[in-house]
A and B are shown apart, each in its own frame.
Chain A
Amino acid sequence: MPVPRKYSAGSIIYFVNDIGEDIFVLQQGRVVLISTSLDHKEDIKEDVQRGEFFGVKSALGHYPREETAQVLSDSLVLVFKVTEFEAFSVKNSRIVLQMLKVFSSQLRKVHKSVRQILGEDSALESSVELMRVAEYYYRQNKTDHALYAFDAYIRHYPDGAFIDRARRMSQSIKKGEPFPLDVPKLDEEIERVMGHTTIRFGDNSQTIPSANSMGAELEPPPMVGFDDPTQDNDESLADVYARGLDLFAQSRFAQAIEVFEQVLQTKTLNGDAEAKILEKALYDQGRSYLKISQNDSAIEKLSQFLKKYPRSDNQKKAMLFIALAYEQKKEIARAVGIYEKVAQMPPKDKDSIQAETKAKKLRGG
């Protein structure tokens, strides 16, 4: 339950850069949010309206507060923990929808500024990049992906500079032909059309300097160390994990376990996405052990998973697999206990029903 909290005039609810997981609603009084513009050239002061939420983004996104919340006159504030806010938002979708609108307009504004600074507003460039992706797939023999991408070009840019090329490539894929070698290189075509070569990847942009611009004023070549030539440095953590999944899909579980282990040994993580990959790797490693009936290892890994990621969407499934492992180990009483637990866990889905059936069957036998 959110708690009401009183603040007297002049006090501070939180400071900029504080870490905090509380979310606030102003009920009475006056609170002002003080922040600095992104270029740090000016202060921004914003009054919180009565009934308005504040501190939401930093609490939900787990990052430092972006502003200082100062109390101007004695105030009453309702304080939510993140989990309480989640429960509240599920019941008040209209309020969440409003917040989403505000958030998305903020996000759009920031993105627009980023694009303006980078000069990335041209549809011409995205169309060129789409061609580049399409031809990459074609050269890699991923013809269905290539066909999709060429057709996307034809659909979205019917007057595009490369429309004839896209049509021709699309035709030649449909005829089952390999990448045509008698067409000029795409880079040459781009050079011809745009006057320069630009490479863009996602929201990052860079112009490759020509040989001439890397002139004599440059310092010596970069110090680049290849301290472990055996390692494929180009493989990202997600790539390694994907390799594990592929092995899993091919029922090569022992190899999959090794690859997942490689993921789990990673020491430095690059943000939330990679932390998430670790979570998945541990879960999938547990599942792999179960597949080859190494039940003790399966139980160990999946229990680790339950403990480490209590909020994971795979909690229920992991418990179900642990029960299966105990069942395979013929520790029936334990298996039944866990199946019963799983059967109770909301929502009532396929897994609940499977657990219930298993528990019944094992109790009966």
Chain B
Amino acid sequence: MQMGNLYSKFGKTFKQGEIIFCEFEPGNDFYLIQQGRVRITKIVKDKEKTMDILGAGDIFGEMAILEEQPRSASAVAVDNVSVLHFNRENFVSLMTSQPQLAHKLLVIFSKRIYDAKRRLMILLLDDLQAKVADVFLMLSEKEPNYRDLRQITLDVSLDGVANWCGEPVDKVQQVINHWVKVGKMDLYVDRIVIHNLNDYKRIVQAKRKTPGE
């Protein structure tokens, strides 16, 4: 199928400033930007935050092809935007006509699976200290030189850490306060400074025993 043909079938335009979908709205469609930019935002603590700005060739809302889930963020047109929009029904015809797009999705899903599994690993730990420590490790692993890192500053708040752990803020706060007190880390409103990542690797390793040990 030619691009023009695709557009007449699946094309849609949004005016500058128009909302494409809203956080928590159940959604079926996902989008490929043809022209213009789209701002991805979330409301965090009563403030709208920009998570990303996407341009031509980018995909968004792709989680909707898995199942109808509430959107995890809102999408708003920055300029006049034209998109192709798809859903599970017309997904196959898109993928066969746009193989680069299929490959792009493969890459996105690879990353998503890894991130989701990594988060699940934290949630499956049954010790709160180990969970908090593992959140620090997960966030540090994104650094390219992770294996040689000792000290690191993480752009995450106390609430953020509690979210990743799936535990109440006050409990996580107790754990972190203790580590601050014994000089293992510093806590600021918007970030955390870890003094020696190895301390936290040890905590997690002790709790995440490999089979047979």
Contacts and interface: CB of A to CB of B under 8 A. Distances in A.
Interface string B1-30: 000000000000000011100111110000
A193 interface: no
Given A133-B24, A156-B25, A226-B189, A236 B102 contact: no
Contacts of B148: none
Interface in A202-247: 202-209, 213-214, 218-220, 222-227, 233-234, 236, 238-239, 241-242, 245
A301 B103 CA distance: 30
Q: Chain B interface secondary structure, helix, strand, loop or mixed?
A: mixed
Contacts of B188: 224-227
Interface residues of A, number: 90
Contacts of B139: 270
Interface string B93-108: 0011001101101110
Interface residues of B, number: 90
A91 interface: yes
Interface string A249-292: 10000000000000000001111110011001000000000000
A59 to B, nearest CB: 8
A140 B116 contact: no
Interface in A116-175: 117-118, 126-127, 129-130, 132-134, 136, 140, 144-145, 148-149, 152, 156
A113 B120 contact: yes
Contacts of A227: 188
Contacts, number: 239
Q: Chain A interface secondary structure, helix, strand, loop or mixed?
A: helix
A61 B110 contact: yes
Contact of A280 (B19, B53, B73): B53
Contacts of B56: 313
Contacts of A201: 42-44, 163
Contacts of B25: 130, 149, 152, 156
B165 to A, nearest CB: 10
A97 interface: yes
A271 B44 contact: no
Contacts of A360: none
Contacts of B105: 100
A103 B120 contact: no
B29 to A, nearest CB: 13
Contacts of B110: 56-58, 60-61, 103
B127 interface: no
Contacts of B106: 56, 60, 89, 96, 99-100, 103
Interface in B16-68: 17-19, 22-26, 37, 39, 42-44, 46-53, 55-57, 65-67
B163 A204 contact: yes
B187 A223 contact: yes
A241 B41 CA distance: 13
B72 A202 contact: yes
B170 A213 contact: yes
Nearest to A103: B109
Given A66-B114, A93-B99, 8 more contacts: A38-B117, A40-B209, A89-B106, A108-B67, A130-B25, A145-B19, A149-B25, A224-B189
